[in-house]
Each structure stands twice: as C-alpha cells, then as structure tokens.
Amino acid sequence: MSATTRLPPAAASGAPSEPPAPPGPRAQRIAADYLKRILTARVYDVARETALEPARALSRRLGVHVLLKREDQQPVFSFKLRGAYNKMVRLDAQALARGVICASAGNHAQGVALAARRLGCRAVIAMPVTTPRLKVDAVHALGGEVVLHGDSYSDAYEHALGLQRAQDLTFVHPFDDPDVIAGQGTVAMEILRQHQGPLDAVFVPIGGGGLVAGVAAYIKAVRPEVRVIGVQTVDSDAMRRSVEQGRRVTLADVGLFSDGTAVKQVGAETFRVARELVDDYVLVDTDALCAAVKDMFQDTRSVLEPAGALPVAALKQYVERHKCKGRTFVAITSGANMNFDRLRFVAERAEFGERREALFAVTIPEERGSFRRFCELIGPRAVTEFNYRISDAQVAHVFVGLAIGRRDEAERIERHFVRHGFATVNLTDDELAKEHVRHMVGGRSELAVDERLFRFQFPERPGALARFLATMAPSWNISLFHYRNQGADYGRILVGLQVPRGEERAFAQFLRTLAYPCVEETGNPIYALFLR
C-alpha cells in the first residue's frame, strides 16, 4: 500500500503544478518566530554543512532533477546532532552539571552523546530494545549511558521521564522542543543557500516531527512557494493522522522497519507547526523503502537506513503519481545508521519495491517433458527463483520468480502462462508468499522413491538454467528443484533426481561430462531428517 494524502490546510495549495497558497497570518507568525531561532542556532561546533548533490541516475530515470541533502554524512551519520547540540549548548552550567537524559530510537541518542562529550556532561540515553545494535554501540562509543526499555520510542520516552525525576537530570527532547526544532531547521537554511534556482518541493521524513517542523518553518519564511512534503511509512503515520483529525492522535502500534520514525505520537509543538506549514503528506511501504535504499546505493554508494531513504521513496512515488517531469526536488537523506544484517532483507525486497521481480505459482502436469516445456515458455527472461517438490502424481506446483522491467509485466506473464495451458497465480503482491512460502517449498514426499540429491553450481547468466535442464535425459524425473538468485557470480541449485533402473551408467556419464560442478548430497543427514 502507498498513498499521497492531501490534508487541510494543505488542500488549499492546489495541484502540484501550482505554487502552494501563501501561508496565512498564524502560519506567518510561526515561520517568522522560527526564522530568528534558526538563524541564531548554534550547530556548527559539532555539525558540518552537508552537501546538496544530484542523484544523477535517479534523475535520469524519473525525468526530474533530484537533489540529495546528505545528512547521512554528519559525524553521527544523521541530522539529529543539530537539534541536540543547539538545545544543550543553551543549558546553564547547573543543568549541565546535573547531566542530561533523552529517549531515542538511536540517532538523537548519538547526537546527545556527542554533544555531552563536547560539553563535558553526563548523558543517559533510554532506547527501545528494538533499536539496531549499530546505534546502541555507537552511543556507547560516544560515552553515553544506555538504558534499553520497551518496544518503541514512546515506551523508552516514558521510562526516561521516570529516570529524569529520580536522578534530577535535564531532559533533552528529540523533537518537541523549540531549540531542537530550530537546530534541525538549519538543514533548510543550507538547502536554500546551496540551491537558489527553481525548487518545487522538499521531501522530509517524519517521526516525531522535529525535522519537518524546522524545515517547513524556514522554507515558508524565506521561499513560501516551495512545497514542503512530509513523509511517513504506512504503519507509522501519526503526523498525517493527527493533521487529518485536527488533534494529536496516538497510534496503538507502529511499524519498526523504519525504526528512526517509529513514533506513536508526534510532539505538541511539532504538530502545531506542521499543521500550519507542511503542504502535503506521502506514505510509503516497506518494499518502496527497500527500493529507495538500493537507488541511493546506486547513485551515491552509500547505504541509507530506512528512515533516511523515506524521502527518496516518497519522491519517486510523487513524481509517478503527478507526472511532474522536469521539476526540481530535494530529498533529505536524514540518516545512514543501518544494521548490516538488515541488508539481506533490503536486497530481497528492493526488487518488489521497484516491481523488478514477479512471483508466480504455476501448476503443470506431472508428466515427462512438461517441466522443460514450461522453462521454454519462460524464454530469455532471467529466472530469479525456482522452487518445486514432487507431491502429487497428476500435477506439479512450481514457485517461480522472474525478473521484469515494467510494473504491468507480471500480469502479462500470468496471461501468457495461462494461454499455454499452465494454471497460474500471480503472487507478486502476496505478503505470505514473499515472507514465508517461498522458503517453505519442499519437505518429504512419498513419491520421491529412489531419489538422489545433488547440489549444482552454474554461471549466473541468462539461459544457464534452461541449458542445464536441456542436458538432462527426458526419462530422468526431477523430484525436487530449489534455486534462488543471490546476486553472486555463480548460481547454486539443489536438485532431486529419479533415474530409472538401467540408466545409471548414462547418468554417471552425464555427471562426469557436465560442465557444472556438482556434489551428491543423498547421504547428507540433513536430507534424511527433513526431505526424505
């Protein structure tokens, strides 16, 4: 699911081809107040002015000019140290001497810890237990005292308030504080200084709302014709819902993939600012986020965390929806604190986010030649996945993934298979298939009599799988087949084969002369436990 949501007062701003309506008197007062705060914010003792650079590959693909505000290049790999330091540097000596405390999903924590080290004070950091290990370790490395509590930022926040009272610490809020908002607003100050030409919109990720409030305040004070578009995930959209309902709402639960924006309730001050100054809201799903992480790697060779890639995903969606060719957009890449072990999931789902892979369940007759006939029907398309286990004497059910180039291609392939007599179900948007079933095809089978199991390795290039199948004698029955493109230079497949009696010598000759390396696994105890 993905959506672009227009909400009051943004609805008055008209279509994307028109400039937004000028801010009203109340919005002007808010913007003017924050303009002064932002211009006098102290951030550059610890922060650096980050680059505003073009995303050339993405720009060519979308037909627009995409500029990236590289806040992932800050010393703590996110924008958060701006607001944290601007707040803490303004504390009096007594407050600093008592020490500070904050609640954070990770990036604000690093900003507070770095600022505390610079200012020479104690920093206690409450973080959700779901915080990526990378961020926890980074806070430790900066001298912060980490306390893990709860499953979300809101849980950690409540715990931090109790610690604040018990230890008489000074609370440094991650977003709902004018000094923090002003510190984050310096991002917009840099954008407008670095790019003084035409600019249609700036896409800003939203968790609690500190960054979008600061960016919107500065832009609406200086260049009100530029749209400010807030971005959230479909399962953590507290700001959008709050603006829609005219009051702050509390989500019962939030999605945790974009942990940097997993906030159940936005701030009172950030809500006050955003409802007046943010023009539009875009929601993106996890697959779109993963695709955006990949886009940024291809353009910059950097790996953004999900929250950092949110604006890129929304920008792509916005351009496709509104057909706004030739425009100029800025995406604030707000953070790059990505856990390495998450990359496996990102790589897997990025193809779905861009609709570069389609999944199908195909039923074929359980008879000699049908498997090869189906593979011939696939033709030159790159096979990304092929899973099968013999289970029925009449029909076979194959789970197959194919590389595609267009979003509507999956439907055309489905129709193509059906026309040639293969019942097909398109699984491309099926979460059960993507998350679980693809990994579960297999198991024991009473029909796998005299089965032998082999691991084969072949060059990962189009047509290699078809050539592999073509080398087999038609009388050799494939009882198990498991393949998944892992992005390596060689493909690895697991094959169960039933060779009729009397053909063992021919089969041995086939293995000796085969161009692909192979290992027989029939005696493997794992095979005996789970597949025989």
Encode 298-323 in three state secondary structure: HHHCCCCCHHHHHHHHHHHHHHHHHC
How many C-beta atoms surround the C-beta of residue 301 within 10 A? 7
What is each CA distance from 332 to 66, 149, 293, 369, 460, in whole angstroms?
A: 11, 29, 13, 54, 36
What is the token pair recorded at 143?
A: 């001298």
- Rounded Cα distance between 39 and 217, Å, is 12
- Rounded Cα distance between 165 and 306, Å, is 33
H or E stretch including 15? none
- Rounded Cα distance between 229 and 1, Å, is 19
Type of residue at 477: N
Type of residue at 467: R
**What share of residues in the chain are helix, strand, coil (percent, to 5)?**
45, 20, 35
Active-site hit among 69, 80, 135, 220: 80
* 334 labelled catalytic: yes
What is the token pair recorded at 381?
A: 């398309």
Which segments of 450-489 are extended strands (E)? 452-459, 477-484
Q: Output the CA torsion sign for 332, 329, 212, 215.
A: positive
Active-site hit among 78, 154, 258, 334: 334
Radius of gyration of the CA atoms of the chain, in A: 28
Whether omega for the bond prior to residue 9 falls within 30 degrees of 0, making it cis, is: yes
Q: Beta strands 227-233 and 423-426: pairing type? A: unpaired
DSSP 78: B
Q: Which of 150, 153, 151 is nearest to 109 (CA)?
A: 153
- Rounded Cα distance between 431 and 388, Å, is 19
Residues 6+ apart with CB under 8 A from 92: none
How many C-beta atoms surround the C-beta of residue 24 within 10 A? 11
How many C-beta atoms surround the C-beta of residue 167 within 10 A? 12
* 325 labelled catalytic: no
Angle of helix 268-277 versus helix 25-39 axis, rounded to 10? 120
Encode 155-169 in three state secondary structure: HHHHHHHHHHHHHCC
Tell me which residues are annotated as active site: 80, 334
